[in-house]
Copies of this chain bind each other. A is one copy, B any other.
Amino acid sequence: MAWIEPEVTEKPKKPMFLCVLSSTKTAHIPKLSAAGKTAELTDYTPAGDAELMETGNIISVPVLPMTPPYDTPTPAIMTRSALKLTDAPYHFINSGLIVTPDVPCIDLKANPGEDIREPVAVMDVQGIYERAKLLAKRLRNQADHVVIGESIPGGTTTAMGVLMALGYNGNVSSSADENPLELKKQVVEEGMKASGLTFGCLKDDPMKAIACMGDPMMPAVAGLVAGFQDTDTSVVLAGGTQMAAVYALIKHMGLNTEKIAIATTRYVVEDKSANFIQLTTTLGVPVVYVADPGFGKSSMKGLHRYETGTIKEGAGAGGAMYLAGLFGITQDQFRTEVENVCKLLKAGH
């Protein structure tokens, strides 16, 4: 049985995985983000994810990124497993981190995002976009197929924010057991008010939508996509509603979206509180790859939490599995590697 749908077979010659790491102070709103044990600890989550993806463990951050109440380990365990199994080239990109990891990141000189209830959520959107575009131009001769993931706590709320500003229903997914959708809606409403916005009023100004309601991950990914335009390099956005929001942004920027796919996990697609498939259909995303790690078959209880929807996506996990699929890795091989990663971490039990 294929664990990536639609099935992937042809391995690209020069694939590359990129993960954009960012922060938004929106994540400091209590109970909004579950990508960390407490609102404050979410500051460490992207750094912890990067250290885990690179080395198999955390180095400088005080605690493994995990989600309460069952301390489910970060989806970065899946990305780590895929990178290890495929030996695919990868880089981390710092686009506005509050806490930087002790592993090398390509720096886009972005400031952390502000709380979207402030008048300006992201400063220097154009500058971040241009630097990311330069980076993609540099990477053109190093990759013919690029999978771009993200790690930014609070990112589903900012995704809802830009979707609303662009005129889309933004019922977003969450990294929590119970999606605090009402709280997110309230925060977004306050943010729209603080910036003087109405539903869809920025459909012709996606850069301003990022500046008012977004986060620093967005101009970074959009700039990367722009830098790979008109080349033979195809792009897969690895994520759930957050990457759907990025897709909406680049579409409204007028970029060519024909060769851009989204890859995510089964858990995002099956999230009843969100409307991922409806959204990507409305947006006209050419292909959505859905990856199923089959954690139900695992003996590790922490991994079962993914099956019950405690965590759904993050650190480009869906796209990393898609990449593993391209390399011919099977679901069983993949799940076994994730279990090995968890054993080394003494997590996921």
Which chain A residues have a beta carbon within 8 Å of chain B's beta carbons? 54-55, 87-91, 93-94, 100, 102-109, 127, 131-132, 134-135, 138, 141-142
Contacts and interface: CB of A to CB of B under 8 A. Distances in A.
A100 B104 contact: no
Q: Most chain-B Cβ atoms within 10 A of its Cβ — which of A55, A88, A103?
A: A103
A293 B264 CA distance: 51
Contacts of A108: 104
A12 to B, nearest CB: 14
A48 to B, nearest CB: 15
How many copies make up the complex? 2
- The 4 lowest CB-CB distance pairs between A and B, nearest first, are A104-B135, A107-B107, A89-B142, A104-B106
13 contacts: A54-B134, A54-B138, A89-B142, A91-B106, A91-B138, A93-B104, A100-B109, A104-B108, A104-B131, A104-B135, A105-B106, A106-B107, A107-B107
A106 B106 contact: yes
A55 B104 contact: no
A89 B141 contact: yes
Contact of A107 (B105, B127, B131): B105
Contacts of A105: 106-107
Q: Most chain-B Cβ atoms within 10 A of its Cβ — which of A90, A104, A135, A141?
A: A104
A141 B106 contact: no
Contacts of A100: 107, 109
The dominant DSSP class at the A interface is: mixed
A102 B131 contact: yes
Contacts of A104: 93, 106-108, 131-132, 134-135, 138
Contacts of A93: 104
A51 B317 CA distance: 34
Contact of A87 (B90, B94, B132, B141): B141
Nearest to A142: B89
Contacts of A127: 102
A134 B55 contact: yes
Given A87-B141, A89-B142, A104-B106, 5 more contacts: A89-B138, A90-B138, A93-B104, A104-B107, A107-B107
A279 to B, nearest CB: 31
A131 B107 CA distance: 15
Contacts of A134: 54-55, 103-104
Contacts of A94: 107
Contacts of A135: 104
A202 B91 CA distance: 36
A142 B141 contact: no
Contacts of A141: 87-89
Contacts of A109: 100, 102
A324 to B, nearest CB: 15
A109 B94 CA distance: 12
Contacts of A107: 94, 100, 104-107
A134 B127 CA distance: 29
A240 B122 CA distance: 43
Contacts of A54: 134, 138
A326 B90 CA distance: 26
Contacts of A88: 141
